[in-house]
Amino acid sequence: MENLGGERKNTYKGEEKLVEEEAGGGGGRSNQPFQHNRHRIIPSNVVKIVVLFMIVISSCLLLYRFTSARQLFPNLSYFKHENFSATSSPSMHSTAPNKTIPSSFTDKVVEKSVEKVLEKAAMANRTVIITTLNAAWTRSGSIFDLFLESFRIGNQTEGLLKHVVVVALDKTAYARCRELHPHCYALSTGGVDFSGEAHFMSQDYLKMMWRRIDFLRMVLEMGYSFIFTDADIMWLRQPFSHFYPDTDFQIACDHHWSDSSDLNNSPNAGFNYVTSNNRSLEFFKFWYKSREAFPGKNEQDVLNIIKFYPFIKQIGFKIRFLNTAYFGGFCDTNSDLNLVCTMHANCCFGLDNKIHDLKMVIDDWKNYMGLGSNERTSRLQTWTVPRRCGYI
User: Would you say residue 75 lies in a domain?
Assistant: no
User: Would you say residue 193 lies in a domain?
Assistant: yes
DSSP states along 166-210: EEESSHHHHHHHHHH-S-EEE---TT----S---TTSHHHHHHHH
Cα 360 to Cα 1, 150, 162, 357, 371: the distances in Å are 19, 12, 26, 5, 17
pLDDT per residue as tens digits for the range 335-391: 799 999 999 999 998 999 999 999 999 999 999 999 998 999 888 889 999 999 965
User: Would you say residue 321 lies in a domain?
Assistant: yes
Beta bridge partners of 185: 167
For residue 256, give the CATH number of its domain. 3.90.550.10
Task: Say what the pLDDT of residue 335 is.
Answer: 78
User: Would you say residue 20 lies in a domain?
Assistant: no
pTM (predicted TM-score): 0.73
User: Would you say residue 209 lies in a domain?
Assistant: yes
User: Would you say residue 100 lies in a domain?
Assistant: no
User: Would you say residue 160 lies in a domain?
Assistant: yes
User: Would you say residue 335 lies in a domain?
Assistant: yes
Beta bridge partners of 233: 344
Strand, helix or coil for residue 275:
coil
Residue 198 lies in domain: 108-377
**Domain total for the chain?**
1
Q: pLDDT band at residue 36, thresholds of 50, 70 and 90?
A: very low
pLDDT per residue as tens digits for the range 225-250: 999 999 999 999 999 999 999 999 99
